[in-house]
Structure 1
Amino acid sequence: MAFYQPQQAAHQPNPDFFVEHVDAPQPPQMGTREAAKMIARQRQEIIAGELSRLAADEYLEDIMNHMRHMEDETLPDANLIDMQREIQWYMRPYLIDFLIEAHAAFALLPETLFLTVNLLDRYCSRRVVYKQHYQLVGCAALLIAAKYGDKKDRVPQIHELNNMCCGLYDAGMFAQMEMHVLNTLEWNIGHPTVDFFSQLLIAEEQDKVEVEHMASYICEIALYHRDFVSTKPSVMARSSLALARAILGEPEVNDGEWDHVENLTLLTLSRHLHQPSVALARKYSSPHHLCVSKKLAAFMAHQASIARAQSGPPSPPSEPAKQADIYSTPQKGHGAVQGVADGYMTPPITPDGSGYANGPKEQYYPVAPRCPVTPSPQPHHVVYQQQHLQQRYAAYPHDPMGQMV
């Protein structure tokens, strides 16, 4: 920093003014030993990267065979989930919305979301889950997936998940459910997610970043629907990339013949793009994701206009018929839930059934509770009888919260 000083002759200093000089901070000098260590570390990283690349090329076939084996071993069974007495498919979109918002709030890796849903579905394929614990199972799956593949500082804390759940559960219930999910799955957590296969195909075909984001958007849309619960991630990755290229007008990749399952998956995916979740569309409308949700909406509107032009003027229906799609979440933007900005949207898991109307489940939609962002902790504590639970669930595969004292 220097103060202003009038021009003076070089041989006549002005005693009324002074000049303060502040030198810029100099970086600490590195000794010879530290510099040698840094250079050696950089060389080791270069050598390790080259060895990893050579090993990957050599063992790529074995790696892919193992991944395809794990793909079959860790695939959920939608038919077994159909046998759940209390969990219904119309509840799934609410829980997936909650998991997507929690996943974005903690800035977790993309594969963590797909692993979370895989753990959730695998658990629901093996255990009977009560509706009041459906969200608890989802939180436990998110905790396990984050601990498995994410950075330690980004793993959600139990009190943070409890705040997102509006204080529905005690802290001990999260730890108990997490352990029960691990024991049920026999600690077999590893699963080749759709993001893994998508990255392989993108690197091989050298697709654009926009195609990558559009394919991710399509894969997350598929998480809401029963049709794709038992679909292999490799098939889902190939189908979503092909559909993303078609939507964005990119050239089609000719990588061999498609079998019946892949063609059916591609066709089914295209039928579920017209009404995505509001929360998911908002996530992919950001510039970080290149606004692919808006581009998909524009594409679907253009296709609808072409279909109307080809079919001619529609004939008026005799009776107005409206059939809701219970596998998607457009209804969350209507009715009492519209405009709810505080708190997180939670699935309809009210234990006493106060959020349900009278009548068949297919004719109404439950309303998510409105709660503050940071609810006050519950004063009561729940004590579990571990021995009684073990004896009970050894014979009946229920979730661990079936009996509470």
Structure 2
Amino acid sequence: MASTTAQANYGYCDTFFVESYEDTDGMFARAAAERERTRALAKAQQRHIAADLSRQTSDAYLNDVLDHMEVMEGETMPDINSIEIQTEIQWFMRPYLLDFLLEAHHAFQLLPETLFLAVNLLDRYCSKRVVYKRHYQLVGCAALLIAAKYGDRKERVPTIKELKSMCCSLYDDDMFTQMEWHVLQTLNWIIGHPTVTGFLDVALSQTGVDAEVQSMATYISEMALYHKDFIPVLPSVMARSSLALARYVLGRPQVHHPEWAARYDSNVVMDLSNQLSRPSQALFRKYSSAHLSNVATTLEQFLQRQNLMQQQQQQQTASQQPYPSPAQSALDVQQVAGPIMTPQTPQKPVYNAVPIGVLTPPETPEKDFYDNSNYNANQNLMHRLHACSNVPSASALQSYQYSSYPTSYPSQ
């Protein structure tokens, strides 16, 4: 009624800002819908142009990017020989710490490359500093915090309060800050390290993206983090080798053209295949999820089929060969018996002269709650990583000096 009166007094106003209540044919609604459609088409066209330009730029600079990544990975690799001569850190502790970092990484929903970078920072730090076993978890938390700050989303970066809670309040707040600073100082603030995921992205961009193959390759690469034999392997070699093994497991055709992605190391592939049957339970649960294509279950089924085929082949071979005589069987047993059949525990090499410079902060208290006389590797591993008592004082961090320490251990 008001609109009709206004039109009678002032005439009809054909402008966008005046809404007519007598739009019976839907003229204004159609115009608004047309404008929205035009905007959507323009945005889609802009995104297409941006993606095309990005792809062209990537193709143009791909070789230069790869060359730089390969140079950087060589400069930021840990030294396994220096880690070997640690006085308290043992290799059997590594899987338990990696399980902790894996669960923390999953809890904070960090990017995949953050985990690989955190493990690299951890190993590089252990290559240059003496680390107490009770501070191994603190170094891992500091490495994860640095890696998340370096390349992850800001809202996903864990806080010191959250890390302290995950460590059962074993460490004070100041200890996380001091350890983070000490790791950065030790590594000369060189954080950038081309990870396996970065090389995987490059390889898949050349051969075609396959989500299941990518998840399987990442699963195999994370499985390799648990074993010291793969620490010296370059991330570029690990990425291409795990990708080739993932294609074999999933029945995908291998890449044979002379591209960078097709050059994998057959020895690394063989070593990786020998470790497929012993994954960490935390890692197995992670990759049994649907958003990671259930590759852990797929790999387990593949190994079961392989074992069944191997048993069938052995049965066929045994049925074709004549039965050996009792004397020959006894001789074979005597030849096999000895160091191979005797149970042996792998031992670290003993070094008489281990350079002890400035130790990792904080200084170990006199009453260390790790009693070496009651040391039992099979029963106290989780207690060693998740102990929640006898918190060391943070005051030792402030008075500790970090000067005159060698940058690396001398070769033995």
Q: TM-score range by the shorter chain?
A: 0.7 to 0.9
Q: CA deviation at 1:77?
A: 1.5
Please name the residue that 1:394 is paired with.
Answer: 403
Q: 2:266 aligns with which of 260, 263, 266?
A: 263
CA deviations over 1:106-140 (Å, ceiling 9, x no partner): 00000111111011111111111111110100000
Cα distance between partner residues in 2 of 1:162 and 1:43: 48
Please name the residue that 1:243 is paired with.
Answer: 245
Aligned runs of 1:289-304 on 2, under 5 Å? 289-304=292-307
Q: Which runs of no fewer than 5 residues in structure 2 stay unpaired?
A: 1-31, 319-328, 348-366
Please name the residue that 1:83 is paired with.
Answer: 85
Q: 2:199 aligns with which of 197, 200, 222?
A: 197
**Retained in 2: the 8 A contact 1:274–1:300?**
yes
Aligned runs of 1:375-390 on 2, under 5 Å? 382-384=394-396, 386=398, 388-390=399-401
Please name the residue that 2:26 is paired with.
Answer: none
**2:369 is aligned with 1:352:** yes
**Retained in 2: the 8 A contact 1:356–1:366?**
no
Q: CA deviation at 1:49?
A: 4.4
Q: For residues 238 and 41 of structure 1, do their structure 2 counterparts lie closer, same or farther at Cα, with a shift above 3 Å needed?
A: same
What SS does the aligned partner of 2:88 have?
Answer: coil
Q: For residues 371 and 208 of structure 1, do their structure 2 counterparts lie closer, same or farther at Cα, with a shift above 3 Å needed?
A: closer
What SS does the aligned partner of 1:186 have?
Answer: coil
Q: CA deviation at 1:260?
A: 11
Cα distance between partner residues in 1 of 2:375 and 2:223: 30
Please name the residue that 2:148 is paired with.
Answer: 146
Q: For residues 99 and 40 of structure 1, do their structure 2 counterparts lie closer, same or farther at Cα, with a shift above 3 Å needed?
A: same
Q: CA deviation at 1:290?
A: 1.6
Please name the residue that 1:116 is paired with.
Answer: 118
**Retained in 1: the 8 A contact 2:99–2:282?**
yes
Structure 2 length-normalised TM: 0.72
Q: For residues 324 and 278 of structure 1, do their structure 2 counterparts lie closer, same or farther at Cα, with a shift above 3 Å needed?
A: farther
Larger of the two Rg values belongs to structure = 2
Cα distance between partner residues in 2 of 1:132 and 1:39: 59
Q: 1:94 aligns with which of 96, 99, 124?
A: 96
Q: For residues 351 and 160 of structure 1, do their structure 2 counterparts lie closer, same or farther at Cα, with a shift above 3 Å needed?
A: farther
Cα distance between partner residues in 1 of 2:228 and 2:373: 22
What SS does the aligned partner of 1:85 have?
Answer: coil
Cα distance between partner residues in 1 of 2:259 and 2:344: 37
Cα distance between partner residues in 1 of 2:380 and 2:37: 64
Aligned runs of 1:202-241 on 2, under 5 Å? 202-241=204-243
What SS does the aligned partner of 2:101 have?
Answer: helix
Q: For residues 257 and 357 of structure 1, do their structure 2 counterparts lie closer, same or farther at Cα, with a shift above 3 Å needed?
A: farther
Q: 1:311 aligns with which of 311, 314, 317?
A: 314
Same amino acid, percent of matched pairs: 50
Q: For residues 260 and 194 of structure 1, do their structure 2 counterparts lie closer, same or farther at Cα, with a shift above 3 Å needed?
A: closer
Q: For residues 291 and 249 of structure 1, do their structure 2 counterparts lie closer, same or farther at Cα, with a shift above 3 Å needed?
A: same
Please tell me the root mean square deviation across aligned C-alpha atoms, in Å: 4.0
Q: 1:158 aligns with which of 150, 157, 160?
A: 160
Cα distance between partner residues in 1 of 2:174 and 2:223: 33
Please name the residue that 1:367 is paired with.
Answer: 381
Q: Higher mean Cα deviation, 50-59 or 125-134?
A: 50-59
Q: 2:179 aligns with which of 177, 180, 185?
A: 177
CA deviations over 1:328-374 (Å, ceiling 9, x no partner): xxxxxxxxxxxxxxxxxxxxxx9521598447x6xx4533139999x
Q: CA deviation at 1:243?
A: 0.5
Q: CA deviation at 1:307?
A: 2.3
Please name the residue that 2:17 is paired with.
Answer: none
**Retained in 1: the 8 A contact 2:72–2:193?**
yes
Q: For residues 324 and 251 of structure 1, do their structure 2 counterparts lie closer, same or farther at Cα, with a shift above 3 Å needed?
A: farther
**Retained in 2: the 8 A contact 1:75–1:122?**
yes
Q: CA deviation at 1:58?
A: 2.3
Q: CA deviation at 1:254?
A: 1.2
Cα distance between partner residues in 1 of 2:160 and 2:39: 41
Q: CA deviation at 1:37?
A: 10
Please name the residue that 1:10 is paired with.
Answer: none
What SS does the aligned partner of 2:382 have?
Answer: coil
Cα distance between partner residues in 1 of 2:206 and 2:291: 23
Structure 1 length-normalised TM: 0.73
Q: Which runs of no fewer than 5 residues in structure 1 stay unpaired?
A: 1-29, 327-349, 400-405
Q: Which has the higher helix share?
A: 2
Q: CA deviation at 1:205?
A: 1.2
